[in-house]
Amino acid sequence: MVSINTASRARYGYRFLKRPLALLTASVLVVVCVILIGFNTLQRTSAPRLIANTPSLRFRPDTASCRFFLAESAIPHGGLGLYTAIDIKKGDFAQSMADLCIYVADTPKGTDFETHSWARDVFNGDFEGKNPRAACEGFATLFNSMPPGVSTSKLMPQNVNTNAGLHRATHAGAGAVSHYFGIWSKAIQDITAGAELTIDYGDFPYQKGKKYVAPKHDPAWLLENGMCIDNIKIQQAVDPQMGRGAFASRRLAKGQLVAPAPLQSFPSRKAFARQKPEALFVNYCFQPRGTDILLFPYGPGVNLINHSSQKTNVELRWSTNPYHHKEWLTVELDDYFKLDKPGGIILEVVATRDIAEGEELFLDYGSEWEQAWDQHAENWKPVDGADRYVYPEEMDNTEPVRTVEEQKNRPYPENLANTCFTPNWERDFGVMRWKQPDFDWPEGNVNCHILKREKNAKGDDEYEVSLNFDSYDYTFDPKTPRKKLYIDTHVPRSAIGWVEKAYTSDLHLKNAFRHTIPLPEHLVPPLWKAAIQ
């Protein structure tokens, strides 16, 4: 937590200003600085308005430039809320970095994961399996809901394919990290510093007739009471085997809060072991040793911190924030899961030494995890056919797409299927002309077969496609009339994309590494430990 200390700010003396020449020099410097800062600020759209000072720390952290905070929601009973400390223009990104989601391909019915996760079609996970649902870290899971007209932001579930630099033919880490990275939100109105960032959930039970007011806090209050969630940026890890990693977006001082990590609790890891390999989700969870429970941290970037026992520069502790229900850690595990809302416990990532801007962050996952990884890396060999596997992002999206007929002679890689983005939802089956959608919901993206390709009057390719609204059933033969056959005509090339067929992505690699991150022993509540013996 950050504290403003204006009195001690004065301790930084400017005694040399007593001399006139020095005064002139200082004035020129100030003007140059103001111009440079102004230019820099313009490039970032809006200026951080907050000034902070933590002079007691030898290595002064740059908290003043924090752009996003987690703090008590200004919505009554809203719990924690997301805040911006900068002005954001309508249409601009309204978060500091993209979110990451982890899909479970066949979510068991009736489990806590099914009820507390994102639907398959929100972030383009339709094609992974029969009942895909996602756990997401970052802003997506932290938003509170406000009605249309009041809510500030909108999710932008972009179809970003990424294997995080890990190819199944060459990397032991392939299949051990999620490909669903790149989820953003954008401002749907001009947002001013101090505003709580909200989205409209769509199904939130708003009170009829109630006039909702946009929730906000004073920016200075945020600096005093908020937890900065902007200290991490996500990039390719320095060691390519690790996939992405978390990096310091500003300098961080020893002992400083790097990021809060609210936790989602799931009572049984077994629920994720019905398929082989076990669901990738477990790799992103803490597990108190000996228990079967999973704790999923969803604070922005926390989940992206890789392991190193040699280069460790952050550690975990239970949060001191009032929203961390520490009393919930004093009940037996069984009773913990009977609590009204088994959420509300928060870990914190804290710097164990001064960290320079741009340094990769490393947590020590412990020797058990390290040995498991070393063994995996030593024994790993690529699965059969790995060198023929093509990731969707490797396809050239400017090339004309071959029709089903043409594919008989020149097939595409067998793991890939086409998707078509269609606005034609309000229909019975039959033939419809494609039109430019006025929405960007990912539900519009469905599996399709390319039946015909023709030039339009402008000389551009247009396609006739057969759409499959049962996304994961990509096997149907378009020539055999089905009960419901949906045809779109005049589909432009830009509406056609590629996805991996169900059950073929790296998520399902038989040789993928799976291991939870053991919760450090000293953080496991004694009563939970008692349950272990």
Ligand X SMILES: C[S@@+](CC[C@H](N)C(=O)[O-])C[C@H]1O[C@@H](n2cnc3c(N)ncnc32)[C@H](O)[C@@H]1O
How crowded is residue 391: how many other Cβ atoms within 10 Å of its Cβ? 20
C-alpha distances (whole Å) from 341 to each of 184, 334, 344, 377 are 27, 13, 8, 39
Q: How far apart are CA 466 and CA 486, in angstroms?
A: 6
Q: What is the dihedral of CA 323, 324, 325, 329, to 10 degrees?
A: 170
CB of 422 to ligand X, least distance (A): 31
Measured CA to CA, the distance from residue 262 to residue 323 in angstroms comes to 9
Using CB under 6 A as the binding rule, whether residue 373 contacts ligand X is answered as yes
CB of 125 to ligand X, least distance (A): 15
Considering CB under 6 A, how many residues would be counted as binding ligand X? 20
- Regarding 243 and contact with ligand X (CB under 6 A), the answer is yes
Mark the segment that binds ligand X (CB under 6 A) among 46-54, 220-228, 305-313, 334-342: 305-313
Closest approach, Cβ 42 to ligand X, in A, equals: 33
Among 33-41, 111-119, 174-182, 187-195, the segment contacting ligand X (CB under 6 A): 174-182
Contact segment (CB under 6 A) with ligand X among 298-306, 329-337, 456-464, 468-476 equals 298-306
Alpha helices in 398-466 (DSSP H): 404-409
Selected binder of ligand X within 70, 97, 177, 197 (CB under 6 A): 177
Nearer to ligand X, 88 or 174 (CB): 174
- The 245-264 contact track toward ligand X, x by CB under 6 A, reads x-------------------
- Tell me which H or E stretch contains 36: helix 20-43
Distance CA(76)–CA(377), nearest Å, equals 50
Residue 272 interacts with ligand X (CB under 6 A)?
no
The correct pick among 66, 122, 134, 164 for binding ligand X (CB under 6 A) is 164
Binding residue for ligand X (CB under 6 A) from 54, 152, 185, 283? 283
Phi, psi of 162 (to 5 degrees): -155, 130
| N-terminal to C-terminal alpha carbon distance within the chain | 37
State yes or no: residue 306 binds ligand X (CB under 6 A).
yes
If binding is defined by CB under 6 A, does position 176 make contact with ligand X? yes
Question: What single-letter amino acid sits at 387?
Answer: D
Taking the complex as a whole, the smallest distance from the CB of residue 449 to ligand X amounts, in Å, to 33
Instruction: Tell me the residue number closest to ligand X, measured at CB.
Output: 243
Q: Is 242 in the site for ligand X (CB under 6 A)?
A: yes
Residues in the chain: 533
For residue 260, whether the previous peptide bond is cis, meaning omega lies within 30 degrees of 0, is: no
Tell me if 241 sits within 8 A of 171, measured CB to CB. yes
Is 241 one of the binding residues for ligand X (CB under 6 A)? yes
Examine residue 308 and tell whether it contacts ligand X (CB under 6 A).
yes
Residue 365 and residue 307 in contact, taking contact as beta carbons nearer than 8 Å: yes
Minimal distance, residue 101 CB to ligand X, in Å: 11
Window of 90-98, 236-244, 378-386, 519-527 that interacts with ligand X by CB under 6 A: 236-244
The upper half-sphere exposure of residue 427, i.e. CA atoms within 13 Å in the direction of its Cβ, equals: 17
The smaller minimum CB distance to ligand X, of residues 373 and 498, is found at: 373
Using CB under 6 A, which of 173, 300, 342, 497 touches ligand X? 173
The reply on whether position 284 binds ligand X by CB under 6 A is yes
Residue type, 500: E
Name the segment binding ligand X (CB under 6 A); options: 17-25, 31-39, 240-248, 332-340.
240-248
3-state secondary structure of 251: coil
Position 307 contacts ligand X (CB under 6 A): yes
In the complex with ligand X, the residue whose CB is nearer, 219 or 245, is 245
Candidates 141, 162, 178, 424; binder of ligand X (CB under 6 A) is 178
Q: Is 404 exposed, middle or buried (0-12, 13-18, 19+ CB in 10 A)?
A: middle
Task: Write down the least CB distance from residue 301 to ligand X, Å.
Answer: 10
Q: Bin 173: left if φ > 0, else alpha if -120 < ψ < 50, else beta.
A: alpha
Q: Is the dihedral of CA 145, 146, 150, 156 positive or negative?
A: positive
Q: Does 303 bind ligand X (CB under 6 A)?
A: yes
- Kindly provide the b/e burial profile for residues 92-109, where b requires at least 16 CB atoms within 10 angstroms of the residue's own CB: eebbbbbbbbbbbbbbbe
Largest CA distance in the chain: 91
Stretch that binds ligand X, among 235-243, 411-419, 420-428, 445-453 (CB under 6 A): 235-243
Residues that bind ligand X (CB under 6 A): 164, 173, 176-178, 237, 241-245, 283-284, 303-304, 306-308, 373, 513
